[in-house]
Amino acid sequence: MSLEDGLKPFHVIPKPLKSETHISDRLRLLLWIIKDKGEFWTGEYFRDIILTRNVFPFLKNEDNVIDPDEVIFVHDKALCMRANKTQHLLQENDVKFWSNDIWPGNSPDLNVAECIGSIIKDEVETKMPSETEYNRYHEDGLVKVKHMKSQHG
């Protein structure tokens, strides 16, 4: 496969570095897995082929990353990446990663609507355990949610 066939990036991001040289080196040290346009990966294929045969060896090789202990695997929230089996496989292989509760809803650089939705959802969920069923749908509560939306967006 060639780069023209379509790229699916797997970003390997070490902690931020200070010097320009290290930053430019870091940009070259990305692992790219080539994916055919329109190709769908099952969770099993992703875990067995992509992670086990490609990503894990890449991350463990000190020639590829500045410090293997400082690497965080970042996924794009595709189903095969969000699967519990995938999350457990990453943990079992001692790969640090942003789990489903961190990424990407709380990341404003990906999807603004999703980020705002995540903020609102988190705020609402913190209030729900203390509310009675009556208060949950009371007009005052709904006004608060509307006010939170206007503050964040």
For residue 92, the model assigns a pLDDT of: 93
Has residue 70 got a pLDDT over 60? yes
Has residue 78 got a pLDDT over 60? yes
Residue recorded with tokens 């797997």: 10
Measured from the Cβ of residue 91, the count of other Cβ atoms closer than 10 Å reads: 12
For residue 104, the model assigns a pLDDT of: 52
β strands within 1-129, DSSP E: 7-13, 31-34, 72-74
- What tokens does 128 get? 């729900």
Has residue 87 got a pLDDT over 80? yes
For residue 1, the model assigns a pLDDT of: 39
- Mean pLDDT (the chain) is 67
Measured from the Cβ of residue 77, the count of other Cβ atoms closer than 10 Å reads: 15
Distance CA 126, CA 27 (A): 39
Phi, psi (deg, nearest 5) at residue 10: -120, 105
Residue 86 Cα distances to 8, 15, 31, 79, angstroms: 17, 23, 18, 10
The stretch 42-46 carries a mean pLDDT of 87
Residue 37 Cα distances to 8, 72, 113, 141, angstroms: 9, 26, 26, 46
Burial class (CB in 10 A: 0-12, 13-18, 19+), 95: middle
pTM: 0.48
For residue 81, the model assigns a pLDDT of: 79
User: pLDDT class for 34, splitting at 50, 70, 90?
Assistant: low
The stretch 89-113 carries a mean pLDDT of 70
- What tokens does 134 get? 């009556």
